[in-house]
Amino acid sequence: GAVVSQHPSWVICKSGTSVKIECRSLDFQATTMFWYRQFPKQSLMLMATSNEGSKATYEQGVEKDKFLINHASLTLSTLTVTSAHPEDSSFYICSARDGGNYGYTFGSGTRLTVV
Amino acid sequence: DAKTTQPPSMDCAEGRAANLPCNHSTISGNEYVYWYRQIHSQGPQYIIHGLKNNETNEMASLIITEDRKSSTLILPHATLRDTAVYYCIVRFFTGANSKLTFGKGITLSVRP
Protein backbone atom coordinates (compact mmCIF):
# COMPACT_ATOMS: atom_id res chain seq x y z
CA GLY A 1 0.00 0.00 0.00
CA ALA A 2 0.88 3.67 -0.10
CA VAL A 3 3.57 4.73 2.33
CA VAL A 4 4.53 8.17 3.56
CA SER A 5 7.81 8.39 5.42
CA GLN A 6 8.42 11.22 7.85
CA HIS A 7 11.79 12.07 9.33
CA PRO A 8 12.89 12.56 12.03
CA SER A 9 10.43 10.85 14.31
CA TRP A 10 11.48 13.05 17.18
CA VAL A 11 13.78 16.01 17.64
CA ILE A 12 14.86 18.22 20.50
CA CYS A 13 16.23 21.63 19.66
CA LYS A 14 17.25 24.77 21.48
CA SER A 15 15.07 27.83 21.46
CA GLY A 16 15.95 30.13 18.57
CA THR A 17 17.22 27.41 16.25
CA SER A 18 15.53 26.01 13.16
CA VAL A 19 14.36 22.48 12.57
CA LYS A 20 13.58 20.77 9.27
CA ILE A 21 11.09 17.91 8.97
CA GLU A 22 10.95 15.78 5.82
CA CYS A 23 7.93 14.04 4.36
CA ARG A 24 8.40 11.55 1.52
CA SER A 25 5.90 9.55 -0.49
CA LEU A 26 7.74 6.27 -1.05
CA ASP A 27 5.72 4.47 -3.68
CA PHE A 28 3.57 7.13 -5.28
CA GLN A 29 3.85 10.66 -6.52
CA ALA A 30 2.17 13.38 -4.54
CA THR A 31 1.63 16.75 -6.15
CA THR A 32 0.00 17.87 -2.92
CA MET A 33 0.96 17.17 0.64
CA PHE A 34 -0.55 18.46 3.86
CA TRP A 35 1.04 19.49 7.15
CA TYR A 36 -0.77 19.16 10.45
CA ARG A 37 0.08 20.05 14.02
CA GLN A 38 -1.30 18.29 17.05
CA PHE A 39 -1.02 19.41 20.65
CA PRO A 40 -1.48 16.93 23.51
CA LYS A 41 -5.03 15.62 23.89
CA GLN A 42 -6.18 17.68 20.92
CA SER A 43 -7.15 16.85 17.37
CA LEU A 44 -5.05 17.44 14.28
CA MET A 45 -5.05 20.99 12.99
CA LEU A 46 -4.20 21.62 9.37
CA MET A 47 -1.36 24.09 9.00
CA ALA A 48 -0.78 24.25 5.29
CA THR A 49 -1.19 22.59 1.93
CA SER A 50 2.07 21.96 0.13
CA ASN A 51 1.99 22.06 -3.67
CA GLU A 52 4.82 20.73 -5.80
CA GLY A 53 6.54 23.50 -7.69
CA SER A 54 4.51 26.32 -6.20
CA LYS A 55 3.96 28.19 -2.98
CA ALA A 56 2.24 26.51 -0.09
CA THR A 57 -1.21 27.58 1.02
CA TYR A 58 -1.37 28.35 4.72
CA GLU A 59 -4.39 28.09 6.97
CA GLN A 60 -5.57 31.19 8.75
CA GLY A 61 -3.45 32.01 11.75
CA VAL A 62 -0.40 30.03 10.65
CA GLU A 63 2.71 32.17 10.17
CA LYS A 64 4.17 31.38 6.78
CA ASP A 65 7.50 33.01 7.63
CA LYS A 66 7.85 30.82 10.68
CA PHE A 67 6.76 27.55 9.13
CA LEU A 68 8.58 27.35 5.80
CA ILE A 69 7.32 24.71 3.42
CA ASN A 70 9.16 23.50 0.35
CA HIS A 71 7.77 20.94 -2.07
CA ALA A 72 10.54 20.65 -4.63
CA SER A 73 9.70 17.23 -6.04
CA LEU A 74 6.74 14.93 -6.46
CA THR A 75 7.88 12.80 -3.55
CA LEU A 76 9.30 15.24 -1.02
CA SER A 77 7.93 18.09 1.05
CA THR A 78 9.77 19.73 3.91
CA LEU A 79 8.58 21.82 6.82
CA THR A 80 11.11 24.07 8.53
CA VAL A 81 10.23 25.55 11.87
CA THR A 82 12.32 28.70 12.06
CA SER A 83 13.44 30.39 15.26
CA ALA A 84 11.70 27.73 17.28
CA HIS A 85 10.25 28.55 20.68
CA PRO A 86 8.93 26.27 23.41
CA GLU A 87 5.35 26.96 22.30
CA ASP A 88 6.20 25.37 18.95
CA SER A 89 6.70 22.07 20.73
CA SER A 90 4.13 19.77 19.20
CA PHE A 91 3.49 16.68 17.11
CA TYR A 92 3.82 17.49 13.41
CA ILE A 93 2.26 15.16 10.86
CA CYS A 94 2.29 15.18 7.09
CA SER A 95 -0.03 13.45 4.65
CA ALA A 96 -0.44 12.93 0.95
CA ARG A 97 -3.30 11.87 -1.24
CA ASP A 98 -3.11 8.25 -2.19
CA GLY A 99 -4.62 7.90 -5.63
CA GLY A 100 -5.26 4.22 -5.08
CA ASN A 101 -7.97 4.11 -2.45
CA TYR A 102 -8.88 7.79 -2.56
CA GLY A 103 -7.80 8.18 1.00
CA TYR A 104 -4.98 10.12 2.50
CA THR A 105 -1.85 8.43 3.74
CA PHE A 106 -0.19 9.92 6.78
CA GLY A 107 3.37 9.94 7.99
CA SER A 108 4.19 8.61 11.42
CA GLY A 109 4.67 12.10 12.79
CA THR A 110 7.52 14.12 14.28
CA ARG A 111 7.62 14.98 17.95
CA LEU A 112 9.30 18.39 18.28
CA THR A 113 10.47 19.57 21.66
CA VAL A 114 11.97 23.03 21.96
CA VAL A 115 13.96 23.65 25.11
CA ASP B 1 -17.48 20.11 4.19
CA ALA B 2 -20.30 18.96 6.43
CA LYS B 3 -19.75 18.84 10.18
CA THR B 4 -19.72 15.54 12.04
CA THR B 5 -20.70 14.73 15.61
CA GLN B 6 -19.23 11.83 17.54
CA PRO B 7 -19.54 10.86 21.20
CA PRO B 8 -16.28 11.55 23.02
CA SER B 9 -15.57 8.00 24.08
CA MET B 10 -16.76 4.44 24.31
CA ASP B 11 -15.39 1.09 25.31
CA CYS B 12 -15.94 -2.51 24.40
CA ALA B 13 -14.68 -5.91 25.41
CA GLU B 14 -11.94 -7.61 23.46
CA GLY B 15 -13.35 -9.98 20.87
CA ARG B 16 -16.67 -8.22 20.68
CA ALA B 17 -17.87 -5.94 17.93
CA ALA B 18 -17.24 -2.24 18.36
CA ASN B 19 -19.90 0.00 16.81
CA LEU B 20 -18.77 3.60 16.50
CA PRO B 21 -21.52 6.10 15.59
CA CYS B 22 -21.23 9.33 13.67
CA ASN B 23 -23.84 11.96 12.88
CA HIS B 24 -23.54 14.08 9.74
CA SER B 25 -27.01 15.49 9.31
CA THR B 26 -25.92 18.27 6.93
CA ILE B 27 -24.16 15.99 4.50
CA SER B 28 -24.75 16.80 0.87
CA GLY B 29 -25.41 14.37 -1.92
CA ASN B 30 -21.89 14.03 -3.22
CA GLU B 31 -19.98 14.11 0.05
CA TYR B 32 -18.22 10.97 1.16
CA VAL B 33 -17.90 9.61 4.69
CA TYR B 34 -14.32 8.74 5.67
CA TRP B 35 -13.05 7.03 8.79
CA TYR B 36 -9.52 7.28 10.12
CA ARG B 37 -8.01 6.24 13.38
CA GLN B 38 -5.02 7.43 15.34
CA ILE B 39 -3.20 5.21 17.74
CA HIS B 40 -1.32 7.12 20.40
CA SER B 41 1.66 9.10 19.08
CA GLN B 42 1.26 7.85 15.52
CA GLY B 43 -0.08 9.35 12.32
CA PRO B 44 -3.72 8.69 11.40
CA GLN B 45 -4.52 5.50 9.54
CA TYR B 46 -7.14 5.21 6.81
CA ILE B 47 -9.86 2.70 7.60
CA ILE B 48 -12.68 2.96 5.11
CA HIS B 49 -14.86 5.36 3.17
CA GLY B 50 -18.25 5.30 1.47
CA LEU B 51 -20.84 7.39 -0.29
CA LYS B 52 -24.20 5.73 0.28
CA ASN B 53 -23.78 1.99 0.03
CA ASN B 54 -22.48 -0.04 2.93
CA GLU B 55 -18.81 -0.88 2.58
CA THR B 56 -16.60 -3.60 4.00
CA ASN B 57 -12.89 -4.21 3.88
CA GLU B 58 -10.39 -6.23 5.84
CA MET B 59 -10.42 -3.76 8.69
CA ALA B 60 -14.01 -2.74 9.19
CA SER B 61 -17.51 -2.25 7.86
CA LEU B 62 -19.19 1.06 7.23
CA ILE B 63 -22.96 1.28 7.52
CA ILE B 64 -24.55 4.45 6.17
CA THR B 65 -28.22 5.13 6.84
CA GLU B 66 -30.53 5.50 3.91
CA ASP B 67 -30.93 9.25 4.49
CA ARG B 68 -27.12 9.47 4.86
CA LYS B 69 -27.42 11.57 7.98
CA SER B 70 -25.51 9.13 10.11
CA SER B 71 -23.15 6.21 9.83
CA THR B 72 -21.61 3.50 11.96
CA LEU B 73 -18.14 2.07 11.78
CA ILE B 74 -18.05 -1.55 12.86
CA LEU B 75 -14.92 -3.34 14.02
CA PRO B 76 -16.20 -6.91 14.03
CA HIS B 77 -13.81 -8.41 16.57
CA ALA B 78 -12.09 -5.69 18.53
CA THR B 79 -8.62 -6.32 19.88
CA LEU B 80 -6.52 -4.36 22.34
CA ARG B 81 -4.61 -2.92 19.40
CA ASP B 82 -7.79 -1.25 18.20
CA THR B 83 -7.66 1.15 21.14
CA ALA B 84 -7.35 4.52 19.41
CA VAL B 85 -9.09 7.76 18.51
CA TYR B 86 -11.44 7.27 15.58
CA TYR B 87 -12.28 10.17 13.32
CA CYS B 88 -15.36 10.39 11.12
CA ILE B 89 -14.85 12.95 8.35
CA VAL B 90 -17.22 14.08 5.63
CA ARG B 91 -15.81 15.67 2.52
CA PHE B 92 -16.23 16.10 -1.16
CA PHE B 93 -14.27 13.81 -3.38
CA THR B 94 -12.93 16.64 -5.48
CA GLY B 95 -9.32 15.92 -6.20
CA ALA B 96 -5.86 15.82 -4.73
CA ASN B 97 -5.97 19.30 -3.24
CA SER B 98 -8.98 18.63 -1.07
CA LYS B 99 -7.98 18.77 2.54
CA LEU B 100 -9.11 16.64 5.46
CA THR B 101 -10.44 18.50 8.46
CA PHE B 102 -10.39 16.55 11.71
CA GLY B 103 -12.91 16.90 14.51
CA LYS B 104 -12.38 15.65 18.03
CA GLY B 105 -13.06 12.02 17.20
CA ILE B 106 -14.17 9.24 19.50
CA THR B 107 -11.77 7.48 21.82
CA LEU B 108 -12.32 3.74 21.73
CA SER B 109 -10.94 1.76 24.63
CA VAL B 110 -10.88 -1.99 24.21
CA ARG B 111 -10.75 -3.78 27.54
CA PRO B 112 -9.38 -7.30 28.08
Q: Is the pLDDT of residue B97 over 80?
A: no
Contact A15, A34 (CB under 8 A): no
- Across the strands, what pairs with A58? A48
Is A103 close to B46, i.e. CB distance below 8 A? yes
Among the residue ranges A66-70, A107-111, B9-13, B98-102, the one predicted with the least confidence is B98-102
pLDDT of residue B93: 64
Is A104 close to B105, i.e. CB distance below 8 A? no
pLDDT of residue B31: 87
**Banded model confidence at residue B110, pLDDT cuts 50, 70, 90:** very high
Taking the C-alpha atoms of residue A3 and residue A7, their distance in angstroms, rounded to an integer, is 13
Is B43 close to A102, i.e. CB distance below 8 A? no
pLDDT of residue B2: 66
> Which residues of chain A make contact with B43, given a CB cutoff of 8 A?
4, 6, 93, 95, 106-109
pLDDT (tens place) for every residue of chain A, 115 residues total: 789 999 999 999 999 999 999 999 998 888 889 999 999 999 999 999 998 888 999 999 999 999 999 998 999 999 999 999 999 999 999 999 876 655 789 999 999 999 9
Is B46 close to A109, i.e. CB distance below 8 A? no
What percentage of chain B has pLDDT greater than the value 70?
Answer: 94
pLDDT of residue A100: 61
A56 burial type by CB count under 10 A (0-12 exposed, 13-18 middle, 19+ buried): buried
Mean predicted confidence (pLDDT) in B2-26: 94
Query: Within 10 Å of residue A80's Cβ, how many Cβ atoms?
Result: 15
Give me Rg for the CA atoms of chain B.
Answer: 13
Taking the C-alpha atoms of residue A55 and residue A58, their distance in angstroms, rounded to an integer, is 9
The answer, for B96 touching chain A at a CB cutoff of 8 Å, is: yes
Query: Within 10 Å of residue B30's Cβ, how many Cβ atoms?
Result: 9
Among the residue ranges A50-54, A82-86, B85-89, B95-99, the one predicted with the least confidence is B95-99
Taking the C-alpha atoms of residue B62 and residue B71, their distance in angstroms, rounded to an integer, is 7
The answer, for B91 touching chain A at a CB cutoff of 8 Å, is: no
Q: Is the pLDDT of residue B96 over 60?
A: no
- Angle at CA B85, nearest 5°, toward A36 and B30? 70
Taking the C-alpha atoms of residue B18 and residue A71, their distance in angstroms, rounded to an integer, is 40
Among the residue ranges A103-107, B75-79, B83-87, the one predicted with the least confidence is A103-107
Nearest-Cα distance to chain B for A105, in Å, is 7
Mean predicted confidence (pLDDT) in B15-19: 97
Q: State pLDDT tens for residues B30-72.
A: 889 999 999 998 999 999 999 998 999 999 999 999 999 999 9
